[in-house]
Structure formats: structure tokens, C-alpha cells
């Protein structure tokens, strides 16, 4: 068997391989986003699942590094998992404000009393935030105030350029007990700081026209009779795949129980792989331990169902989300002087390739410096995955229990992982599990049957979404052009300061 060996900074949702900031793979609308960033505009860009938001962000980050230098570009995300995916750090960690629950005066003192935190603020020219949908608006307002105080200017965010990415119609921020959700666009500073909202409209993940139409409806909280019938047709269906489907479950405890149960059913010995973590930043080490897609320890056996958690070789289809089955164990590859493990798994992937999988380095950076590294196999058990941890994945064969979805956007995130209706199986479904927050619909452009952002229609499709296809796979057909749809005036500061653009 061949082997997969190398080093990556983060899980690589597209970051590796673009050191030269090659933009040839970008669509025209993605290039427009890059152009606005290079012009210095503070922007928010969004798009439905599968439109290449993370892929584009990796290109933007590389361009910003080239323009400003690494130490002047803060690459952050709302969660530890998202931070690991982009080789950055959490927004809270970068800001140096802890949980950020105290008053602004206390947060300013925290930053001023930490040389590292204060230096980060002073050096930063561009602040990148991925998965902005999970950041509270109140926290964004606090950071705006901290920036103005530290940088001693009344300009929004102290004059720091903002590049925000995410989809508010997917998973929301955690609601405080007894309080309504507080979205980032609810922040008083949003309309002042964000100069333009941009929408990605070309979908790369699905090519099944009726399924894409169904996803468009689910995204904005609609379950039509036709959509319900299509989903009911997948109840206890057998997905078209040589591998058993991955179960998407709402709760992590159920995921762990399912994977443990299935692993225990396999005959033969178990092989334990424990990660090696190192770093000089306690905060980043903590983020790595809680958010890295490669777990601290994983037990494997022949027959174990696994999934790649990073791009390994996109040209050969060995990408983030690729399924496989462990078929054996072999000694370390020849020529490796200090292997982390005494034996490595051989995985037969769903595309027919059989590879020895070895450790990779997952890193987190802050201020242009690597602060924490985990060396571990880029694999997870794949009998079951949580809906939250499936964000960003494309799944070739998936089963899900939608009736247990409890969060806004939960059902949409789960369903949009599938590449087609035929690769999907449902164990339960009720229309009530499809939930969308009304304020998010208003932010995207109104309410009612035509609510929300433009819907996507499929083009030629792709064999596996993480392998980058040629541009212009699908064209979005808007209900109403975004530049004609106002932002909520009572929450966005100056309603004329931001406009939707396709």
C-alpha cells in the first residue's frame, strides 16, 4: 500500500497547496470577494452549504499574508474546531479577553495588562473571522469598543479591516439561559464596520436538481408537500454506497456510544493511537485539545469505518470527508527515522484507493507564530458523527435522525452534507425539526414564502465536493436581488452603510 505522510497547518479545507495564492480555481463571484478584500473593504460574505466559503477563505488569507505579512493578519474563528480547520485561533483567544463576559472597561484592562495581547491588537491590520454565525453580537460590540480604546481611534474596530465569513442559516451562537439568540448582525457596530455583504451563489457539492431545490427550501425553513414526500421516500432507504452510511446525530454522547458499540462488535485486536501535543501557548493548546478534528486518542481495528478529517491528496480524491475502512496494519514507512507509532493502519477508501495513513501535524497560529501542534492520524471513526462536527464535510453515504434536531439550522446542516438524495437515508423526520430564526430571514431579505437569500440551482456537479471542481457549476436564481433588500435598520446602525451584492 502507498502511504500518506506530511505536514499541514490545520486540517486544510483548501489551505495547503496555495502558498503562491493561486487564484485560477476561483469563480468570478469569488474573485469579486477577493478584490474587495484587497481594496481594503471590511466585508461579510456568505452562501449556502457547498458554495466554497472555506475554500475561498483560504485563498483570501494567503493573499492577505502576501499583502501585509503574517503578523499583521489575525486568522480567527468562532469555535475551536473552526479555528483548527483554518490553522488560526479562536476569536476569544486572539482578543485576549477570556470569555468576554465582563464589562468593556475590564476587558480593556485585560488586554493592556498582557503584553502579548496588546501587541496583537496593535499589529493587526486585518481581522479574519470564520463561522461568524456563532459569534454573539454583544461580544462583537465589546471587541469594537476594546479596539477603539487600545488603538486610540473612534473608527469602527479601531480601523482594523474585517473579513467575516459564515452562514447565519446554519448553526447559531449559544443562547444564554432565558434570553433570545443574539446574532453578530445584531451588533450595533455591524452596520458601521461592515461596508459590504457579499453572497456566493455557485454550489459545488450537489448536482441533483430536485435535491438542491429541497435544500434551498429547508434552508429558509420551508417544508413543501413535494419536499416532505421526497424526504419520506428516504425513510429507512438503502443509500447507494459500498460502505455503510455514516450516521449524523445531534448529540455527541450518542455519537460516542454508537462508535464504541460498533467497534466492540469487530473481531481481532484493537490498536490505540494517542496524539502528541506540544506548544508554548496554553490558550492555543486548550483550543487544540477541544477543537482539533483529529482526536487525542483513537482505537482502530480491521473493519473499522473511518473518515479523513483533512485534505491529503485532492487530485486523487483523498479529501476531507472521504470515507474508508481499515483493512490491516503495517510497520512504519521505510525512511522515517522517528515514527510516532509502531504500526499504521491501511485504509481502503471509497474511491478504491488503498493507502497507509500516518500522522500529520495539525497546528494553530496566532500573530503569525505556531503556538500549538498536534501530531495524529487524520482519521476519525465514521459509524457516527455529530451534526456540529460535520459542518464543512461532504458525505458520500449518510444516515440521519432528523426528529431529534433541536437547534436552528440543525436539519439543514445535516441534510446539506449529502451529495445527493440517493446517498441519503432517514431514520426519522418531522417537518417540525426544520427551524429557522425569523430575524435571520429578515437579515437575509424579508419574511414570507420568498424569504431568505437566493436559492441555488445545480450545474454539472462534482464526484466529491472537497476535490475542487471547475468554476461555474451552478447559478443562483434570486427571488429578489440582494442589493434591493435592506438590512434591519434597528440593529444595523446605518442601514445604508451595507448592501447585499452577488
Task: Give the CA distances from residue 352 to residues 121, 169, 277, 300, 324, in Å, rounded to whole numbers and listed in that order.
Answer: 48, 35, 32, 20, 9
Cell representation of residue 168 = 447565519
What would the grid cell of residue 182 be? 443574539
CA atoms of 318 and 15, how far apart (whole Å): 15
Q: Beta-carbon neighbour count of residue 261 at 10 Å?
A: 11
Task: Specify if 434 maps to a domain.
Answer: no
Report the distance separating Cα 494 and Cα 17, nearest Å: 40
Q: How far apart are CA 351 and CA 316, in angstroms?
A: 9
How far is Cα of residue 73 from the mean position of the Cα atoms in its chain? 19
Annotate 88-125 with DSSP letters as a single string: -EEHHHHHT-TT--S-HHHHHHHHHH-HHHHHHHHH-S
Q: What is the predicted pLDDT for the residue at 452? A: 54
In this predicted structure, what is the pLDDT of residue 302?
A: 98
Identify whether 112 is part of a domain. yes
What pLDDT sits at residue 471? 35
Backbone Cα Rg of the chain: 22
When pLDDT is averaged across residues 72-91 and rounded to a whole number, the result is: 92
> Out of 89-93, 328-332, 406-410, which region has the weakest mean confidence (pLDDT)?
406-410
The percentage of residues in the chain with a pLDDT greater than 70, rounded to a whole number, is: 84
Q: What is the pLDDT of residue 454?
A: 58
* Predicted local distance difference test score (pLDDT) of residue 393: 86
Of 185-194, 331-340, 382-391, the one with minimum mean pLDDT is: 331-340
Which pLDDT value is given to residue 9?
A: 32
> Where would I find the H helices in 134-199?
137-151, 190-193
**Residues 298-317: pLDDT tens digits?**
999 999 999 999 888 888 98
The pLDDT score that the predictor gives to residue 501 is: 66
Classify residue 113: in a domain, yes or no. yes
Q: Has residue 184 been placed in a domain?
A: yes
Task: Tell me whether residue 1 is in a domain.
Answer: no
* Cβ-contact 308, 320 below 8 angstroms: yes
pLDDT-based confidence at 201, cuts 50/70/90?
Answer: confident
Q: What CA–CA distance (Å, rounded) separates 95 from 90?
A: 9
- Of residues 365 and 46, more confidence is placed in 46
Least trusted range by pLDDT, from 40-49, 175-184, 450-459: 450-459
Query: Distance of CA 312 to CAs 176, 302, 356, Å?
Result: 39, 22, 12
Predicted confidence (pLDDT) at residue 113 exceeds the cutoff of 90: yes
For the chain, the domain total comes to 1
**Comparison of pLDDT for 502 and 47, the residue scoring more:** 47
DSSP letter assigned to residue 313? B
> Does residue 387 lie within any of the structural domains?
no
Question: What is the enclosing helix (H) or strand (E) of 277?
Answer: strand 276-279
Predicted confidence band of residue 338 (pLDDT cuts 50, 70, 90): confident
CA distance 457 to 295: 36
Q: Which of 157-171, 388-402, 425-439 is the most confident on average? A: 157-171
Query: Is 60's pLDDT higher than 50?
Result: yes
Whole-number pLDDT of residue 262: 97
pLDDT digits (tens, 9 = 90+) for 156-199: 999 999 999 999 999 899 877 767 889 999 999 999 999 999 99
Domain assignment present for residue 36? The answer is: yes
- pTM: predicted TM-score of the whole model, two decimal places: 0.83
Instruction: Evaluate if residue 20 carries a pLDDT over 80.
Output: no
The CATH number covering residue 74 comes to 3.40.50.300
Q: Is the pLDDT of residue 203 over 80?
A: yes
Q: Report CA dihedral (377, 383, 384, 385) to the nearest 10 degrees.
A: 30
Containing 502, the helix (H) or strand (E) segment is: none
pLDDT of residue 4: 42
Cell numbers representing residue 242 in the block: 459500498
pLDDT above 90: percentage of residues in the chain? 59
Q: What is the mean pLDDT of residues 34-50?
A: 95
| Cβ atoms of residues 381 and 305 within 8 Å | yes
Residue 440 has pLDDT above 90, yes or no: yes
Q: What is the mean pLDDT of the chain?
A: 84
Higher-confidence residue of 447 and 328: namely 328
Q: Using alpha carbons, select from 121, 134, 118 the residue that is nearest to residue 80.
A: 134
C-alpha–C-alpha distance, residues 76 and 185, integer Å: 18
Q: Is 129 helix (H, G, I), strand (E, B) or coil?
A: strand
Task: Report residue 337's pLDDT band, with 50, 70 and 90 as the boundaries.
Answer: confident
Residue range 246-287, pLDDT digits in tens:
999 988 899 999 999 999 999 999 999 999 999 988 889 998
User: Helix H segments across 398-464?
Assistant: 410-415, 438-445
Q: Which of 176, 88, 167, 81 is nearest to 124 (CA)?
A: 88
Return the top range by mean pLDDT from 110-119, 361-370, 477-486.
Answer: 110-119
End-to-end CA distance of the chain, in Å? 46
Query: Does residue 24 carry a pLDDT above 80?
Result: no
- Quick one: pLDDT band at residue 499, thresholds 50, 70, 90? low
Of 392, 395, 353, 464, which is closest to residue 12 (Cα–Cα)?
A: 392
337 DSSP 8-state letter: S
Looking only at Cα atoms, what is the longest distance across the chain?
Answer: 65
What does the alpha-carbon distance between residue 110 and residue 274 come to, in Å, rounded to a whole number?
36
The answer to whether residue 158 is domain-embedded is yes
Does residue 462 register a pLDDT over 80?
A: no
By residue range, what is the domain housing residue 170? 23-202+485-501
The pLDDT of residue 479 is above 70: no
308 grid coordinates: 479523513
Amino acid at each position: 500500500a502507498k502511504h500518506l505522510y506530511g505536514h499541514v497547518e490545520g486540517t486544510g479545507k483548501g489551505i495547503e497547496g496555495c502558498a503562491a495564492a493561486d487564484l485560477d480555481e476561483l469563480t468570478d463571484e469569488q474573485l469579486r470577494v477577493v478584490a474587495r478584500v484587497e481594496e481594503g473593504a471590511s466585508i461579510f460574505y456568505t452562501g449556502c452549504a457547498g458554495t466554497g466559503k472555506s475554500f475561498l477563505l483560504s485563498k483570501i488569507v494567503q493573499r492577505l499574508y502576501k499583502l501585509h505579512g503574517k503578523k499583521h493578519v489575525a486568522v480567527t474563528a468562532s469555535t475551536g474546531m473552526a479555528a483548527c480547520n483554518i490553522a488560526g485561533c479562536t476569536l476569544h483567544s486572539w482578543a485576549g479577553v477570556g470569555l468576554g463576559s465582563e464589562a468593556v472597561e475590564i476587558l480593556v484592562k485585560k488586554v493592556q495588562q498582557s503584553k502579548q495581547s496588546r501587541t496583537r491588537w496593535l499589529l493587526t491590520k486585518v481581522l479574519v473571522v470564520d463561522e461568524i454565525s456563532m459569534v454573539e453580537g454583544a461580544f462583537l460590540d465589546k471587541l469594537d469598543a476594546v479596539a477603539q480604546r487600545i488603538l486610540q481611534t473612534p473608527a469602527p474596530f479601531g480601523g482594523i479591516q474585517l473579513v467575516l465569513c459564515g452562514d447565519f442559516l446554519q448553526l447559531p451562537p449559544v443562547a444564554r439561559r432565558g434570553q433570545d439568540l443574539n446574532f453578530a448582525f445584531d451588533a450595533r457596530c455591524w452596520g458601521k464596520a461592515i461596508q459590504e455583504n457579499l453572497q456566493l451563489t455557485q454550489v459545488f457539492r450537489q448536482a441533483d436538481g430536485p435535491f438542491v431545490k429541497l435544500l434551498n427550501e429547508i434552508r429558509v425553513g420551508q417544508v413543501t408537500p413535494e419536499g416532505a414526500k421526497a424526504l419520506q421516500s428516504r425513510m429507512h432507504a438503502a443509500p447507494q454506497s459500498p460502505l455503510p452510511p455514516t450516521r449524523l446525530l445531534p448529540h455527541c454522547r450518542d455519537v460516542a456510544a454508537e462508535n464504541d458499540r460498533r467497534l466492540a462488535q469487530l473481531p481481532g485486536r484493537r490498536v490505540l493511537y494517542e496524539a502528541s501535543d506540544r506548544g508554548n501557548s496554553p490558550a492555543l493548546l486548550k483550543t487544540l485539545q477541544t477543537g482539533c478534528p483529529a482526536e487525542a486518542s483513537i482505537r482502530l481495528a480491521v473493519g473499522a469505518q473511518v473518515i479523513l478529517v483533512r485534505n491529503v491528496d485532492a487530485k486523487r480524491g483523498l479529501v476531507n470527508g472521504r470515507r474508508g475502512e481499515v483493512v490491516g496494519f503495517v510497520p512504519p514507512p521505510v525512511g522515517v527515522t522517528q515514527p510516532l507509532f509502531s504500526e499504521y493502519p491501511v485504509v481502503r477508501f471509497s474511491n478504491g484507493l488503498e493507502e497507509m495513513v500516518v500522522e500529520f501535524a495539525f497546528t494553530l497560529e496566532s500573530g503569525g507564530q505556531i503556538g500549538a501542534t498536534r501530531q495524529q492520524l487524520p482519521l476519525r471513526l465514521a459509524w457516527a458523527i455529530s451534526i456540529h462536527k460535520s459542518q464543512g464535510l461532504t458525505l458520500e453515504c449518510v444516515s440521519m435522525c432528523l426528529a431529534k434536531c433541536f437547534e436552528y439550522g440543525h436539519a439543514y446542516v445535516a441534510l446539506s452534507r449529502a451529495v445527493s438524495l440517493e446517498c441519503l437515508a432517514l431514520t426519522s423526520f418531522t417537518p417540525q425539526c426544520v427551524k429557522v430564526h425569523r430575524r435571520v430571514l429578515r437579515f437575509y431579505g424579508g419574511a414570507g414564502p420568498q424569504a431568505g437569500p437566493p436559492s441555488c440551482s445545480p450545474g454539472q456537479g462534482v464526484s466529491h465536493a472537497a476535490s475542487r471542481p471547475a468554476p461555474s457549476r451552478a447559478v443562483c436564481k434570486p427571488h429578489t436581488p440582494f442589493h434591493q433588500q435592506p438590512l434591519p435598520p434597528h440593529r444595523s446602525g446605518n442601514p445604508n452603510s451595507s448592501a447585499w451584492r452577488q
